[in-house]
Amino acid sequence: MGNTARVILCDEFEKSKEREKVLEMLRASTRGETISRGTSDQRGRTFTLRHVGWVAAIEAGLQRQPDINRFVQLELLRAAVGKQGKLVLPDNGQLYRLGQKLLAIAVVHGVAAKKLATSLKGEEFPGIDARTVEVYAVPTAILAVAMGLSDAMARDLLGNLLASIETDTQGTTDHDDLLSDVLSAHVNCGAKEGMLTVGQILESETRWQDNAGRLEAYGISREVDDAGTERLLIAHRTVAAKLLKGSSWEGQRIDQILMRITDATRRKVRMGGQFPRCISVPLAS
Q: Residue 67: name the closest of 171, 165, 209, 219 by CA.
A: 171
d(C-alpha 234, C-alpha 218), whole Å? 9
Cβ proximity of 109 and 142 under 8 Å: yes
User: pLDDT tens, 26-41?
Assistant: 877 766 667 777 778 8
d(C-alpha 21, C-alpha 243), whole Å? 24
Mean pLDDT of the chain: 84
- State whether residue 140 is helix, strand or coil: helix
% of the chain at pLDDT higher than 70: 92
Q: Which residue has the higher pLDDT, 278 or 131?
A: 278
- State whether residue 175 is helix, strand or coil: helix
Cβ proximity of 207 and 193 under 8 Å: yes
- Please work out, in degrees rounded to the nearest 5, the angle formed at the alpha carbon of residue 155 by the alpha carbons of 154 and 159: 115
Q: What is the pLDDT of residue 89?
A: 86
d(C-alpha 264, C-alpha 271), whole Å? 18
- State whether residue 48 is helix, strand or coil: strand
User: pLDDT tens, 211-242?
Assistant: 888 889 989 998 888 888 899 999 999 998 88
Q: What is the pLDDT of residue 157?
A: 95
The whole-model pTM stands at 0.53
Distances (CA, A) of 204 to 195, 211, 229: 15, 10, 17
d(C-alpha 147, C-alpha 143), whole Å? 6
Q: Residue 219: name the closest of 153, 145, 260, 273 by CA.
A: 273
Q: Residue 236: name the closest of 266, 278, 269, 265 by CA.
A: 278
The dihedral sign for the CA sequence 193, 258, 71, 60:
negative
Read off the pLDDT of each residue in 277-281 and give the average, rounded to a whole number: 92
Amino acid, res. 86: K
User: pLDDT tens, 151-197?
Assistant: 999 999 999 988 877 655 555 677 888 888 899 999 888 877 888 89
Residue 261 Rama label (left phi>0; alpha psi -120 to 50; beta): beta
d(C-alpha 114, C-alpha 120), whole Å? 10
Q: What is the pLDDT of residue 111?
A: 95
